[in-house]
Amino acid sequence: MNPAKLAAFTRNELIPAEAEKYAHQIIDKEMPAGLKKYLEVELFPRIHLKVGNGICLSTARRWLHREGFRYMKYSKGLYYDGHDRPDVLDYRQKHFLPASDAAIPVADGRI
């Protein structure tokens, strides 16, 4: 891993094409290699498991993919705050707040 390039990538200082190329390198090579090394050096010996030739990078990639690691191009999405919808306000006023008030214990007239 190139620490200077990683720092520039996190500060958005790389040109977009170079940043995309670097992100692909991290996802396709560095993360699977790191997982492979961790499994073979740290995890497998701890659980007394010996893997003959170790795991291959394609297996590490497949496991990462299965766990949800995927390359995605960053895009700003639309955020919608639904707390002001009429049905949410109605539920909050008629159901949630009365139920939460009933659940608060009161001792000696103090909360």
pLDDT bin (cut points 50, 70, 90) of residue 20 is confident
- Is the Cα torsion angle 39, 42, 46, 50 positive or negative in sign? positive
Whether residue 76 lies inside any domain: the answer is yes
Q: Which residues pair with 78 in a beta bridge?
A: none
pLDDT at position 1, please?
62
Q: What are the pLDDT digits (tens) for 43-91?
A: 888 888 877 788 888 888 888 888 887 666 655 666 566 777 888 888 8
Q: Would you state the pLDDT for residue 99?
A: 83
Domain containing 69: what range?
3-103
- How far is it, in rounded angstroms, from Cα 38 to Cα 71? 21
Give residue 45's pLDDT. 85
Asked whether residue 85 is assigned to any structural domain, the reply reads yes
* Residue 61 domain flag: yes
Region 2-31 average pLDDT: 75
Asked if residue 47 is part of any domain, the answer here is yes
Please report whether residue 49 resides in a domain: yes
In a domain, 110, yes or no: no
Residue pair 31/64 in contact by the 8 Å Cβ criterion: yes
Q: Which residues of 41-59 are buried (b: 16+ CB within 10 A; e: fewer)?
A: eeeeeeeeeeeeeebeeee
Q: Is residue 40 part of a domain?
A: yes
Q: Residue 66 is inside which H or E element, if any?
A: helix 57-66
Question: How many domains are contained in the chain?
Answer: 1
Cα distance between residue 91 and residue 24, in whole Å: 46
In a domain, 109, yes or no: no
Q: Is the pTM of this model over 0.85?
A: no
